[in-house]
Amino acid sequence: MNSVKIKLIREGMVTATEVKDRTGRILLASGKTLTSKHLKVLKTWGITEINIMSPKESSSGSGQSDKSISVDPSIVKAMDELFQFADRRHPVVSEFYNLCLNRKVKEDV
């Protein structure tokens, strides 16, 4: 785990710990692969550095992965109805949608 300045962060890097704002609100979960949208959100919230997994840690499978899974279409339809008035292109709303969808899938298993 390395603490890296935000200007050195690149897409594809994986967070080693939760990324929180100044008040302690979680912006990104641990083990999250960073995208350009995540980098924009971090800069917007004034985050100056975050903990990143070293290449050995991220390839060993110790963190969470963003694997694709098969989801029942009825669950997706129900989530789409709940989020119909939200802008799912927004990084925070998109992340919240994914968290809700994952939770619903785990409940139904």
- How many separate domains does the chain show? 2
8 and 53 both lie in a single domain:
yes
- Co-location of 46 and 87 in the same domain: no
| 19 assigned to some structural domain | yes
Same domain, 45 and 8: yes
Local confidence band at 82 (pLDDT 50, 70, 90 cut-offs) = very high
Cβ atoms 51, 16 nearer than 8 A: yes
Note the pLDDT tens digit of each residue in 7-50.
888 888 899 999 888 888 888 888 999 998 998 888 888 888 89
Residue numbers of the domain that contains 93: 73-108
- pLDDT per position as a tens digit, 48-72: 889 898 766 555 544 444 455 677 8
Torsion of CA 69, 71, 75, 77, to 10 degrees: 100
Q: Rounded to an integer, what distance in angstroms lies between the CA atom of residue 33 and that of residue 41?
A: 14
Contact 37, 23 (CB under 8 A): no
Q: Kindly report the pTM of this predicted structure.
A: 0.50
Adjacent-strand bridge partners of 3: 51
Six token digits for residue 75: 């669950």
